[in-house]
Amino acid sequence: MVSSSGAIADELELADYLRIMRRRWLWILVPAVAVCALAAALTATRSPSWTTSAQVSVGGSAAQEAINGSASGAASVRELSNEVDLAASDQVRQGVVDRLGFEPDVDIAAAESSDAILFTATAPTAEMAAAAANTWAEVYVETKRQDAIDSIDGAVEAFQADLADFRAERIKIRQPIDDLEDQLAGDLPDEERSVLEGQLARLQNDLEPDLNVVDAKVEAVAASIAELQLSSRLAAAGAARVVQVAAPPQSPANASLERNLLLGLVIGLILGAAVALLVENLDRTIKGPDDVAALGLPLLGGIPEPGRPLEDGELALATLRHPRSPVAEAYQKVRTAVEFALLGREINSLLITSPDQGEGKSTSAANLAWAMSAVDHRVALIDVDFRRPRIHRIFECPLQPGLSDYLRSGVPLDQLAVRVGTPGSRNLVVIPTGALPPNPGEFVASPAFAAVIRDLEQQADLVILDAPPVGPVSDPVSLGRIVDAVIVVARSGRTTRDQLRDTVDSLRQVGADVIGVCLVGVASSEYGSYYGSDGDGDGDPTRGRSGSLATGRQTIDLTSPPAPSGATLLSSRRHPHPSPDGR
């Protein structure tokens, strides 16, 4: 449901969405077709490309494993990230360029759920793609191997320098012992030898801990050097290896035309649906009964668009010329709704107006007047639109004399009235505007005008006034004060919610009794009514079988019949049939 504020309410159900999509189908179709066309154009103009991948298994740094004494295990996320950075480094890239002569398009990423790196190459041919992926993987493996060897060699050199320092330190610590031993090696008196041997024993005892520490360091560094030298030989055999060689792909990576069209259709439909919902949310026009109900206004009925093209005159009198058409059936439902709304109320005059021009008020007034007269209501249809009169055109009668002539020159009402129908069933009289007054607003607001409406109410069961729209002029507001009830005609897809609300508010402010809204131009899906077939049979019991309703031009008989016994409806003036050639 759409709220009165114009926003789509949160409680939209599936049926509401389907109704919106059905109403806004063009907004869905255009993006879908546009995206499909774009997908087809891109597919046709884009050169084919080929994609293939090589995979390299990576391990930990050989130098680090040798130093830490760890075994090769699963690489961590951080280690894999470092390896990806190394594979994408300028050093590896330059090596690839040196081999191929150009820099290929290669995407480098860590493989999922494995300690490996994927090298995915895209190229204009399958062979170039395979060569690019394999070359990049090989250069990375060689670079990683050489970096491992260089790192181990650097560590060996550092350990060898430490070993030399430790050996020099040991020599320095042992120097006093070596000096005493050199003295004892010569010819010495027994007493002096005994003293030196005692000093040597004490010195050896004092320096033994320091010597042991230095000897342990020397042994540890020597063992590390041996392990690093072994790791260097292992690194030379390969710290990383290619586990999947890129093969030339069998088909291009570009999606096929069928796949692109299908994808474009899905994306286009999603985009179109979003656009349709946006347009629906921004569209403030009345589209169906729900919009009228959201404004708190009673809906008297919805008039569908004709099932087939109708001429202007045919549509304006569909209830008379095509009584079994959907339009005529709809107006008959409006008549029933009006009778129900007026049930138990003393209503003699009914004003028909609209928020703006071109919304179907004159057509609705003419059809409603005929529909009311067809069920034995004596109806007087008065054209009070003194700015753009139209009723005389609908019924093909002269504009003058009319109501203004009665008020200005006293022409009798029975000479102004045009009786419509066939002999014996003419309960409808039409009174045109007459000569247009210079100031219509003051004219309809005058006491004399109100008096003539009261006089007509005494002579007919129902007086229907076709008034100008409320939006442009103030005439309907003045007329709303002197009539018993008002019907507002709105057009689906044209009248906005604000216009309809403002029109009703303006009429109610002067005390007018707005009994409901007649919505014109609704789609049959928006107004779930059953309508009969559009035939030319005798669907309306009041339709005569004589030549008064001729085919082709559909001339209306305006001749003056004998007045019914006891009737108070105005006698009609004579309006002869036009000749077949229209003169």
Confidence of residue 541 (pLDDT cuts 50, 70, 90): very low
**pLDDT value at position 426?**
65
Residues 277 and 28: their CA atoms lie apart, in Å, by 10
- Average pLDDT (165-184) is 83
Residue that wins the pLDDT comparison between 504 and 18:
504
- By percentage, how much of the chain surpasses pLDDT 90? 8
What would the mean pLDDT of 398-420 be, rounded to a whole number?
80
Model confidence band, residue 397 (pLDDT cutoffs 50, 70, 90): confident
Within a 10 A sphere around the Cβ of 86, how many other Cβ atoms? Answer: 18
Q: pLDDT band at residue 74, thresholds of 50, 70 and 90?
A: low
Quote the Cα angle for 174-175-180, to 5°: 100
Percent of the chain clearing pLDDT 70 (strictly above): 80
Lowest-pLDDT range of 43-52, 266-275, 449-458, 539-548: 539-548
- ∠ CA 322-325-328, nearest 5°, is 75
Find the mean pLDDT for residues 243-258: 79
Residue 238's pLDDT band, with cuts at 50, 70 and 90, is: low
**Domains of the chain with CATH codes:** 14-46+254-282 (no CATH), 50-244 (3.30.70.1130), 289-522 (3.40.50.300)
**pLDDT value at residue 425:** 60
Strand partners, 196: none
Between these two residues, 449 and 532, which has the higher pLDDT value? 449
Of the segments 11-25, 135-149, 512-526, 528-542, which one has the largest average pLDDT value? 135-149
Q: Give the CA-trace dihedral at 471, 475, 480, 485, to 10 degrees.
A: -80
pLDDT at residue 12 in the model: 62
Gap between the Cα atoms of 122 and 131, Å rounded: 10
pLDDT at 549 over 60: no
Is residue 475 over pLDDT 90?
no
pLDDT of 319 reads 73
User: Residue 471's closest CA among 488, 483, 486?
Assistant: 488
Query: Is the per-residue pLDDT at 302 higher than 80?
Result: yes
122 φ, ψ (degrees, to nearest 5): -125, 130
Please report which confidence band the pLDDT of residue 351 belongs to, taking 50, 70 and 90 as the band edges. Answer: very high
* C-alpha dist (Å) from residue 64 to 87, 130, 514: 19, 33, 92
The DSSP string of 161-175 is HHHHHHHHHHHHHHH
Q: Does residue 470 carry a pLDDT above 70?
A: yes
Please write the tens of the pLDDT for every residue from 32-41.
888 888 888 8
416, 418, 444, 440: which is closest to 429 by C-alpha? 418
Q: Compute, in degrees rounded to 10, the torsion defined by CA atoms 150, 151, 156, 157.
A: 70
Q: What integer pLDDT is reported at residue 264 of this predicted model?
A: 85
**Model confidence pLDDT, tens digit, residues 44-70:** 777 778 899 999 888 654 444 544 454
Q: Residue 347 corresponds to which amino acid?
A: I
Q: Which of 138-142, 266-270, 525-529 has the lowest mean pLDDT?
A: 525-529
Q: Which of 154-163, 231-240, 438-447, 486-495 has the highest mean pLDDT?
A: 486-495
pLDDT at 286 (0 to 100) = 79
Q: Does residue 180 carry a pLDDT above 60?
A: yes
| Cα 501 from Cα 252, distance rounded (Å) | 62
The highest-confidence range among 59-73, 94-108, 192-206, 565-579, by mean pLDDT, is 94-108
Alpha helix positions (H), 185-288: 190-237, 257-282
φ, ψ at 109 (rounded to 5°): -155, 155
Residue 577: predicted pLDDT = 31
Q: Which of 159-168, 260-269, 512-521 has the highest mean pLDDT?
A: 512-521
What strands, in cross-sheet order, belong to the sheet with 462-466?
Answer: 299-304, 514-522, 485-491, 349-353, 462-466, 379-383, 428-431, 418-420
The two tokens of residue 138 are 């090989």
Residue 577 tokens read as 């049939």
Give Cα separations from 17 to 3, 4, 35 (angstroms). Answer: 14, 18, 22
pLDDT digits (tens, 9 = 90+) for 95-124: 999 999 999 999 999 887 778 889 999 988
Chain position carrying tokens 């919304």: 359
Based on DSSP, count helices (H) and strands (E) in the chain, helices before strands.
20, 12
- Of 398, 450, 440, 443, nearest to 574 by C-alpha is 398
Locate tokens 């030298």: which residue?
229
Q: Which residue has the higher pLDDT, 540 or 72?
A: 72
Higher-pLDDT residue of 321 and 82 is: 82
User: How many CB atoms neighbour CB 448 within 10 A?
Assistant: 10
Query: Residue 575 — pLDDT band, cuts 50, 70, 90?
Result: very low
Report the pLDDT value the prediction gives residue 442, as an integer from 0 to 100: 82
Partners of residue 54 on adjacent β-strands? 119
79-83, 215-219, 470-474, 523-527: the lowest-pLDDT one: 523-527
pLDDT of residue 487: 92
The answer to whether residues 348 and 484 touch, using CB atoms and an 8 Å cutoff, is yes
Give the pLDDT band of residue 135 (cuts 50, 70, 90): very high
pLDDT of residue 107: 92
- Higher pLDDT: 525 or 542? It is 525
173-182, 227-236, 300-309: range with highest mean pLDDT: 173-182
Average pLDDT over residues 199-219: 83
Contact 379, 428 (CB under 8 A): yes
pLDDT in tens, 516-527: 999 988 876 554
Residue 526's pLDDT is 52
- Residue 116, pLDDT score: 87
Top mean pLDDT of 59-73, 121-135, 466-480, 554-568 is at 121-135
